[in-house]
Structure 1
Amino acid sequence: MSQRRLFAGAQLRAIRTERRLKQSELAAALAISTSYLSQLENDDRPLTTALIDRLARAFPLDWRGVGAGDAEERLAALREANADPLFPEPLDAAQLARFAEQQPVLAERFIALHEAYRRGGQRLAMVDEALASESAGTARLPWEEVRDWFHLENNYVDSLDRAAEALASQLGGQTPDTGAIEAYLKDALSISLIYSGLQGLRSYDAEMGHLTVDPGQPVESRRFLLAHQLAALALKDEIAAVIEGAGLRTAASRQLLFVGLCNYAAGALLMPYRRFRAAAREVRHDIDRLAQAFGTSFEQTCHRLSTLQREDARGVPFFFCRVDMAGNITKRHSATRLQFARFGGACPLWIVHEAVAIPDRILVQLAETPDGVRYVSMAKGLVKPSGSYDRAPRRYAVALGCEASQAGEFVYADGLDLTAERAATRIGISCRICPRADCDQRAFPPSDRPISVDPDSRGVVPYRVG
């Protein structure tokens, strides 16, 4: 069976234009001559299998969906599965192309099996960690159930995200400002606004139609609280449909999911998907610049970047978390292969712990997990004022990162040596499930391995991992 010839001159020119590359620069990135690239851009020659593979690796977001046929989509999914560290010697581009073209049914089953393996591994890690934790033998708490629901949804809720994007268009502008949200609440929903610090951060009286917001919060926080209430009222049907289909066990879980979905919709309203994704790519995910453009906080911007997983317009797969002064992970999500510990703290070697103690300074780290995958992570310590001397400000750090293969899209990777053997910090997920036997920062042994103790010999820890 012959492979379909793919001409993609327009797509190649679009990549050069968006990346501001000269023909010679793109040709060098693809390891071809400038004259050959010129022929490709003018559709005088089709792309070869090797070039398609190079383009997919060099420009994964730009090249996604090019060709748009079943064979090309199948090949793209095969590439992702084939890159799993599970395979020590992955197939080359030509082998993958033949597999996708000549054995489509088998290829699709391989892709489905790999996805099931990946999901099964995540669920098994959840069970293993639960058994090793102090909560072993108990049912999941409501907040754990909701957290796991968002994780298994890949932190993206399509119906709600699109509804919030449409609502943002009604409010006008690149992103709805505080005045537009206040006007919609008053005029369209008959809500009266009260700014007072006597009823917590936000308080809504449904019977009277009063919304009270703490004026002592930063302007970005006040705007988010208004957007939360607007989403809760204007998108209540969409939110109710998601909760109905979630299958959560308890009323408390469903109520927590309602709050989480309102927060999700607020972020989607303030940072509408397609405009935000385009802006993020334009500045290579520079969080400060994005926050300025959309009037959002550093944390809100990081969190939104981790949700850009729309099927027809995916963003860079990021992981995101928030860590408090005690090392507790209070928010977490990962669209990458890195998965956070569900119980206890994160690896102490991870840069986010240092960032908690150094507010308003961005720290960058190249880290490698036990499976050999490398990640570039950015962490920043934040202080959120309380608006009162009587209440201590909240202190925490947020972290955002991606796999090293996506480093070209992430401005914080600039200047890092991504390939040097000793350049990466060797981190784990948590001590309970980390297999590294030679870690000097280990707090306790892994739960699935035996230990041996020699009373006459002492290392950093008083045991050896079997």
Structure 2
Amino acid sequence: MSVKRRIFAGSQLRNLRAARNLRQAEMADRLDISVSYLSQLENDDRPLSNALLERLAREFPLDWQDVGADSTEKRLVALREATADPLFAEPLPAEQLARIAEQQPGFAERFIALHEAYRRTGQRLEMVDEALAADNASGTRLPWEEVRDWFHFANNYVDTIDRAAEALSIGLIGDHGLSPLSEALEQQLAIGFSVSVRYESNRGLREFDPQMGHLVIDPAQPAETRRFQLAHQLAALALKAEIASVIAAATLRSPAGRQLLFVGLCNYAASAILMPYRTFREEARRLRHDIDRLAHAFGTSFEQTCQRLSTLQRADARGVPFYFCKVDMAGNITKRHSATRLQFARFGGACPLWIVHEAVAIPDRILVQLAETPDGVRYVSMAKGLVKPSGSFERSPRRYALALGCEAAHADEFVYADGLDLASPHRMEKIGVSCRLCPRPDCDQRAFPPSDRAILVDPDQRGIVPYRIN
């Protein structure tokens, strides 16, 4: 017979409230309990109930994770997230979930794994559907699509490389703040690998001669980009074994795909060197993921900072689940990853109602949007248009936009959500993945009908589009 656990967490509750700068009345209101009850909990006069544990995990998911919950509590959080899927009519009661997590751990873990497999299978079916819609009936993926999908199904986090890069970074930082300086990277290349660095114009962004040990970098690049190129080359040499091991296990079909994965993993490691995981995660949470302030603190670019935020998925210290993408002037998604339930279209453009498209036309200005996808999940999105100089009058500058967002449940952690009315249905844009995958029948911006629905055409009636969706 199972013995009911009595969980006392007074100090953790007090620390959580202090970290969030909440008064007892405000904390009690968030937890839907009385102030006197909260006071008893904080003084360890009463244990936490299963319902309160579930509420704490829901209201403060990252904070409560950091408290050091035991395996049963972590299982309960994962089970709650799985059963809250829009697939189910309504979530199970907190007490019932707690009993399952504690008394039937094997079943709970299998259910969680099954739900994850279901989610991944759904994503793969969407890929096949889009390939067919794009007249790619064979389903054959180009090398860069293989690599993009590999990072997606790795959840954009590679543990062995991330930890090795973090250890390397800590050894280089010393007393110089949060991130290694360019001088430290150059010194490590010279001492550890006999690589000399030269800055010369009219070359590529980065060119390495492994025989001579010469690394040439274009000085016309911004300082953040030059430092990233140094980190990339250091990662390629210092983490060669770790990167090779990951590539060997990736089972990519083409040599080009494996070479692209090598480049991608070196870029990933470079980000982890410049923004070491735990330091970056702590600073990101302290600054509430203010990208400009984070970029200044770590000496990184806006894009590098956004992309690193999307990789914070380490099992024992997860960050906010973000989605990240890069969109060019034509609406093509050239970079994408999502740790949220929002998924991106693989072919064609994204939903025209998404704020990222407006951001492309308005560089150097941050736009914010509250949006809801057809499954009822709400997201807070930040988008910014950027112009990257070409370094020459003869070449046009590159113009694109970046988008970073999270589910509205994490709005407290995201400074860009400040001022949004998260509960108002009138302040919310109804978006989809793409027109071919969006089931909404009443969208004024629809470019194509959904690929899985029939259309009805009446010559005597005309709406915004010349058909109705059956």
SS at match of 2:435: coil
Cα drift, residue 461 of structure 1: 1.6
Whether the aligned pair in 2 keeps the contact of 1:65 and 1:73 (CA below 8 Å) is: no
1:250-305: CA deviation from partner (whole Å, max 9, x where unpaired): 10000000000000001000000000000000011000110000000011000000
Q: State which of 268, 271, 274 in structure 1 corresponds to 2:275.
A: 271
Kindly indicate whether residue 332 of structure 2 is the aligned counterpart of residue 323 of structure 1.
Answer: no
Greater mean alpha carbon deviation, residues 73-82 or residues 310-319: 73-82
Greater mean alpha carbon deviation, residues 330-339 or residues 209-218: 209-218
Q: State which of 262, 267, 272 in structure 1 corresponds to 2:266.
A: 262
1:440 partner amino acid: D
Whether the aligned pair in 2 keeps the contact of 1:3 and 1:101 (CA below 8 Å) is: no
Cα drift, residue 396 of structure 1: 0.3
SS at match of 1:330: strand
2:299 partner amino acid: G
1:404-449: CA deviation from partner (whole Å, max 9, x where unpaired): 1111110101111111122211101011111112111111111111
Partner residue, 1:44? 45
Partner residue, 1:242? 246
SS at match of 2:52: helix
Counterparts of 1:344 and 1:225 in 2: how far apart (Å)? 31
Partner residue, 1:407? 411
Whether the aligned pair in 2 keeps the contact of 1:75 and 1:97 (CA below 8 Å) is: yes
Partner residue, 2:424? 420
Greater mean alpha carbon deviation, residues 277-286 or residues 19-28: 19-28
Kindly indicate whether residue 361 of structure 2 is the aligned counterpart of residue 357 of structure 1.
Answer: yes
Q: TM-score normalized by structure 2?
A: 0.96
Partner residue, 1:90? 91
RMSD across aligned C-alpha pairs, in angstroms?
A: 1.4
Counterparts of 1:274 and 1:66 in 2: how far apart (Å)? 15
Partner residue, 1:102? 103
1:120-168: CA deviation from partner (whole Å, max 9, x where unpaired): 1111111111111132325100000000000000000000000000000
Counterparts of 2:407 and 2:153 in 1: how far apart (Å)? 20
Q: State which of 199, 211, 222 in structure 2 corresponds to 1:195.
A: 199
Kindly indicate whether residue 441 of structure 2 is the aligned counterpart of residue 437 of structure 1.
Answer: yes
SS at match of 1:64: helix
Cα drift, residue 170 of structure 1: 1.2
Partner residue, 2:285? 281
Greater mean alpha carbon deviation, residues 27-36 or residues 152-161: 27-36
Counterparts of 2:11 and 2:259 in 1: how far apart (Å)? 49
Q: Which runs of 4+ in 1 moved over 6 A?
A: none
Greater mean alpha carbon deviation, residues 199-208 or residues 317-326: 199-208
2:283 partner amino acid: A
Kindly indicate whether residue 42 of structure 2 is the aligned counterpart of residue 16 of structure 1.
Answer: no
Counterparts of 1:70 and 1:232 in 2: how far apart (Å)? 37
Counterparts of 1:169 and 1:199 in 2: how far apart (Å)? 32
Whether the aligned pair in 1 keeps the contact of 2:66 and 2:317 (CA below 8 Å) is: no
Counterparts of 1:325 and 1:135 in 2: how far apart (Å)? 24
Partner residue, 2:127? 126
Counterparts of 2:186 and 2:139 in 1: how far apart (Å)? 44
1:33 partner amino acid: S
SS at match of 1:422: helix
Partner residue, 2:294? 290
Counterparts of 1:27 and 1:459 in 2: how far apart (Å)? 50
1:97-132: CA deviation from partner (whole Å, max 9, x where unpaired): 122233333322222221111111111111111111
2:72 partner amino acid: A
Aligned pair count? Answer: 466
Counterparts of 2:451 and 2:116 in 1: how far apart (Å)? 26
Cα drift, residue 86 of structure 1: 1.2
Partner residue, 1:369? 373
Alpha-carbon spacing, 1:67–1:175, altered in 2? closer, same or farther (3 Å): closer
Counterparts of 1:108 and 1:240 in 2: how far apart (Å)? 32
Q: Which runs of 5+ in 1 are unaligned?
A: none
Whether the aligned pair in 2 keeps the contact of 1:6 and 1:67 (CA below 8 Å) is: no
Cα drift, residue 327 of structure 1: 0.3
Percentage of pairs with the same residue? 73
SS at match of 1:167: helix
1:7 partner amino acid: F
Counterparts of 2:196 and 2:137 in 1: how far apart (Å)? 47
Partner residue, 2:394? 390
1:157 partner amino acid: V
SS at match of 1:32: coil
Counterparts of 2:221 and 2:68 in 1: how far apart (Å)? 49
Counterparts of 1:78 and 1:138 in 2: how far apart (Å)? 34
Partner residue, 2:148? 147
Partner residue, 2:4? 3
Cα drift, residue 67 of structure 1: 6.2
Partner residue, 1:34? 35
Greater mean alpha carbon deviation, residues 400-409 or residues 46-55: 46-55
Q: State which of 456, 465, 469 in structure 2 corresponds to 1:465.
A: 469
2:438 partner amino acid: C
Q: State which of 440, 443, 450 in structure 2 corresponds to 1:446.
A: 450
2:110 partner amino acid: R
Counterparts of 1:265 and 1:443 in 2: how far apart (Å)? 39
Counterparts of 1:282 and 1:150 in 2: how far apart (Å)? 28
1:131 partner amino acid: L
Whether the aligned pair in 1 keeps the contact of 2:374 and 2:440 (CA below 8 Å) is: yes
Partner residue, 1:341? 345
Counterparts of 1:292 and 1:65 in 2: how far apart (Å)? 26
Alignment of 1:307-322 (within 5 A): 307-322=311-326
Whether the aligned pair in 2 keeps the contact of 1:452 and 1:465 (CA below 8 Å) is: yes
1:283-339: CA deviation from partner (whole Å, max 9, x where unpaired): 110001100000000110000000000000000000000000000000000000000
Q: TM-score normalized by structure 1?
A: 0.97
Partner residue, 1:69? 70
Counterparts of 1:44 and 1:67 in 2: how far apart (Å)? 20
Partner residue, 2:165? 164
Cα drift, residue 65 of structure 1: 6.2
Counterparts of 1:341 and 1:244 in 2: how far apart (Å)? 28
Whether the aligned pair in 2 keeps the contact of 1:316 and 1:406 (CA below 8 Å) is: yes
Kindly indicate whether residue 246 of structure 2 is the aligned counterpart of residue 223 of structure 1.
Answer: no
Whether the aligned pair in 2 keeps the contact of 1:319 and 1:401 (CA below 8 Å) is: yes
Counterparts of 2:319 and 2:139 in 1: how far apart (Å)? 37
